Amino acid sequence: MALLETRGLSKYFGGLSALNDLSMEVETGEIRGVIGPNGAGKTTLFNVISGVYKPSSGAVYFKNERISGISPSKIAARGAVRTFQRDALIHDFTVLRNVTVARHLHTGQTLLKTLFSNTVKLRRQDEEKAEEILEFVGLYDLRHELAANLAHGFQRVLGIAIALATEPELLMLDEPVAGMNPTETAHMTEVIGKLHKERGMTIMLVEHNMKTVMGICEKITVIDFGEKLSEGLPEEIRNDPKVIEAYLGAEEIVVER
């Protein structure tokens, strides 16, 4: 059974359709790439799934329950968590504190406990879990650094660590390697690969960087003008004439000029 399913999803901004009757399924344990030219509706798709936008028509189902229309925090609580293209983190917190605050859904530190009992133990539990996550993504040594002082690549990795702290079942990554140098890209690719292989995390990945997508995704969905253009294995996508024309081909022509 599919973990995530969109049925006839459409989203209009005024007269402009950003998504048009888009249906797709993501299976548990899958790592799915979503690609498409600029303005194809990839980020809109994430915004609709994560509850930032309500769909104009159609619906999103997660674990067989309809999640479209409920608030982003409730969708996150059900286990579908996204990251952002921008550096979404608390700049004046340390790296560790960024991750512990994201333990929100699992912390057990209520207002009454905060006021009347000793929360040192609960706090320590959150910190241990956060340290474990930071170890996993390779930021452990930087845990006492202010998030604002990290290099761009590390900040994006911290963004994933924050998302992981919520213990998601579906992780949606919005252009995780955008603006990164080759070293940072390699680090990020390794983290995503490890998440998939070692933790069996279901991942949806929106990305412009073809090499990354083709390298780590098992299955790819191509979107153009808000519609699903093609779907399949990386080799199939690479050889699909429609995709080449809409996306890869166009890019090659630009490069040749």
Partner 1 sequence: MWIKLLGIAAVAAVACAMPYIVELYQVEVLIILMFNLILAQSYRLVNTTGDWSLSHIVTMGVGAYSSALITKLLGWPFWLSLPVSGCVAGAIGFIIVFPLLRTVGFGFFIGSFALGEFVRLIWVKFHNPFGGPRGLINIPPAEIGPFDISDMIVYYYFCLGIAVISIWFMYRIDRSHIGDTFKAIHTDPTLCETIGIHVPAYRATAFIIGAFFAGIAGALMAHHQGAIDPHSFEATLMVYLIIFVVVGGVETFWGPILGVIVMTIVLELSRPMEEWRPLIAGVILIFFLVVMPGGLEILLPKGMAILRKVPAFDRLLPRGPA
Site for partner 1, rule CB under 8 A: 50-52, 71-74, 76-77, 81-82, 84, 88-93, 97, 100-105, 107, 109, 111, 114-115, 119, 122-123, 126, 162-163, 165-166
For residue 204, the minimal CB distance to partner 1 (Å) is 14
For residue 170, the minimal CB distance to partner 1 (Å) is 12
Residue (76 or 137) nearer to partner 1, CB: 76
User: What is the pairing mode between strands 57-62 and 31-35?
Assistant: unpaired
How open is the CA angle 26-138-233, to the nearest 5 degrees? 25
Per DSSP, 105 falls in state: G
For residue 202, the minimal CB distance to partner 1 (Å) is 17
For residue 82, the minimal CB distance to partner 1 (Å) is 6
Residue (84 or 136) nearer to partner 1, CB: 84
CA distance 45 to 36: 12
CA distance 50 to 39: 19
| Contacts of residue 194, Cβ cutoff 8 Å, sequence gap at least 6 | 136
CA distance 94 to 187: 21
Q: Single out the residue of 207, 88, 81, 83 nearest to residue 155, CA to CA.
A: 88
Q: Could you give the 3-state DSSP secondary structure of residue 33?
A: strand
For residue 164, the minimal CB distance to partner 1 (Å) is 10
For residue 111, the minimal CB distance to partner 1 (Å) is 6
Residue (52 or 186) nearer to partner 1, CB: 52
For residue 256, the minimal CB distance to partner 1 (Å) is 40
Residue (100 or 212) nearer to partner 1, CB: 100
Cα 74 to chain centroid, rounded:
17
Secondary structure percentages of the chain, helix, strand, coil, to 5: 45, 25, 30
Count of Cβ atoms closer than 10 Å to residue 15 Cβ: 5
Residue (90 or 210) nearer to partner 1, CB: 90
Task: Note the residue count of the chain.
Answer: 257
Residue (59 or 88) nearer to partner 1, CB: 88
Residue (23 or 110) nearer to partner 1, CB: 110
